[in-house]
Amino acid sequence: MAFKLTVLGCNSAIPTVERHPTAQLLNVNERFFLIDCGEGTQVQLQQYQLNYQRISHVFISHLHGDHYFGLIGLISSMHLLGRNKDLHIYAHQELKEIIDLQLAASNTELNFPLFFHSIPDDKEQLLFEDEGISVRNVLLNHSLKCSGFIFQEKKSKRKILKDKIEKYNIPFEKYNAIKDGADWIDESGKVIVNNEITIANTSAHSYAFCTDTMYNEVLIEKVKGVDLLYHEATFKKELSERAKETGHSTTFDAATIAKKAQVKNLLIGHFSQRYRNLDELLVETKEIFKNTYLQIKTRGASPAFIIRKNLTIKINTNFALTCSPKIFRF
């Protein structure tokens, strides 16, 4: 059961050689959700051998260029490579106008159905739901209307114990009811309680993506207890006034939200290009919230975060915590 986040870009408005603008790919049991799509996202997907034709849902937080400039290129490549399955985009309404204009200007008629779902400007609601996951938007406090996203995995059905099924001769057509928690009554009328013939499946996981935003305590209840919170930390604490002026957060802000919300793990990103050594931001954040990770990789390393059933975050063995000369690996 996969619940895996791949970081494709972690910088703020201006990309650098080592750091791309914001983009993430969330794999929930082999369903792929692209979260923001900054410049160069499709190249990053190819670098990590991630098949972007498997992406069916794209969530764009807001219309500052570092969060969506890569989208039309990705759509174009999907088209040129013969995509025919649906693509769903969730964003503020103005993005549809931009996409329509770009497609019209290039005289492009897509091979595949493109569905646009408008995110409300001033309210929060369920954006997407299927049998395995739900996605809601959360309002963020930025210089432009901006939404975060909460991905909540649904609780899996209970797992049937094969030896018990055989022991009690339970017919196949009863499996679904038993997975849902039903007891089994045998031919003699004896009740076999569900806990004897099943075990709990993996726990449901949650991920909150809170990109460009000022410090906002309203977020605390909305992200409370999530397995992984991504919260932007554009600046160090010493630039708190600059953060307020630009509608962004500091390391102190991100850590404080994480601590008060009692999240399990914090991932920081959206770093200002002024910082070459990101260790400083990590250290400052960890002073308040210990379980903090940098949204950064070294060239050639895989940037995948994997949330396992024990509800702790694991970073695969190729992931580098910083891009400084000393590389810390998990």
For the chain, what are the domain ranges? 3-156+202-315, 159-197
Q: Please give the residue that has the higher pLDDT: either 297 or 49.
A: 49
pLDDT band at 303 (very low <50, low <70, confident <90, very high): low
Q: Are 252 and 284 in contact (CB under 8 A)?
A: yes
Q: Compute the distance between CA of residue 318 and CA of residue 305 in angstroms, rounded to an integer.
A: 11
DSSP-based three-state secondary structure for 277: coil
* pLDDT > 70: percent of the chain: 89
pLDDT band at 185 (very low <50, low <70, confident <90, very high): confident
3-156+202-315 topology per CATH: Metallo-beta-lactamase; Chain A (3.60.15)
Active-site annotation holder among 66, 212, 227, 253: 66
Residue 115 pairs in a beta bridge with 88
279 is catalytic: no
CA 258 from chain center: how many Å? 16
> Is the model's pLDDT at 148 over the cut of 80?
yes
Average pLDDT of the residues in 267-296 = 91
Average pLDDT of the residues in 160-167 = 84
At 308 the pLDDT is 40
